[in-house]
Structure 1
Amino acid sequence: MKIVIQRVSKASVTINEEKVAEIKNGLLVLLGIVNEDAQEDINWLVRKVANLRIFNDENGVMNKSLLESNGEAIVVSQFTLQASTKKGNRPSYIKAAKPEIAIPLYENFVKTLENELGKKVQTGEFGADMKVELLNDGPVTIIIDSKNKE
C-alpha cells in the first residue's frame, strides 16, 4: 500500500462537475493498493497519517500531527501510484489491485482513519474520473510505502 500525503490549506474533489469533498487545513491522502495489501498495512499507514508531525506549532516548527492540529482529511483512491515505469514509456499498472480487492481495502482504510481521528474523513469515489484541487501548504508532500517499513 502506497500513499502520497499532501499538507493542504484547502482541497476538494469534484466528480461530474459536482463537488463531493472539500476541506480546509489538513491532509489530502492519495492511496494506491496492491493485491498483497492487508489490514496490517492499513493500520500502520493510518497511524502514520494521524501522527506524522508535519503541522506547524506556535513557533512555526513542524511539530504537530493531524490529530494535534485538529485538521481534516480527504482520502482519494489512486491506482496509478502503483505504476511500474521500468520498461518503455507506457506505465504498467499490473501491480495495482483489481476493484474486488481494492474497494474493501480502500473503504477499510477510510473507516480505520476515521476511528483514529475521531471524525469523518471525506473521500472521492473509487474508480470515478475525479478532479482533485488542492493548495499544497509548505509545500509539504510525503510518500510512504507500507512495504518499506524499515
Structure 2
Amino acid sequence: MRPPPLAQLEFLVGELSGPEDVSSTPWATGGPAIGRVRGERGLDGGVLVQHQVQERDGAVAFRALNVFTTDPATGEVLLYSFDNFGYPPEPAGRGTWHDAELVLERTTERGSARTTFTPTTDGYRWGKWFRAPGVDEWSPVVTGELRRTAR
C-alpha cells in the first residue's frame, strides 16, 4: 500500500502551541503572540487541514484555515490559506523541501509571500515573510515555534 500523499507533513498533525514573534507590518503592530494549531488528515490522507489561531494580549488577533495537498503533476506541496483578513487563497502557495525545511511561495497583485515549516522533535518552527511588488527584500511577518500538546 502506498503512503498517503502528505505523509511527509505528519509533523503538522495534532494540537500544537507556542510563542510567536509578530513583526510590525501594514497589517499588524509588532510584538509577542501565542500560536495554537490543530491539524488533521482528511480525504484518506490526500489533504491536511490546519485550524490556526493567534492570540495577542489575551484576545484572538488572527485566524486561518490552512489546507495542504499535493499537485499530482509536479509533486509540489500546495497550501491554500483562508484567513480572517478575507483575501482569496488563489493561487495556492507552492512548495518543495530544501534540506529539512518546506518552503512555500505565493504571488498575487499585492505581492509575494513565503512560508516555511521546519520539523522539530516535538513540533515545528515556522515563519512567514512578505515582499511587496517591485521590492527585492523579504520582510518578516511572523515566526514561531510550536510544540505538540496532543496527537
Question: TM-score scaled by structure 2?
Answer: 0.25
Q: Which has the higher helix share?
A: 1
Higher relative contact order (CA 8 A, sep 6+): 1
Question: TM-score scaled by structure 1?
Answer: 0.25
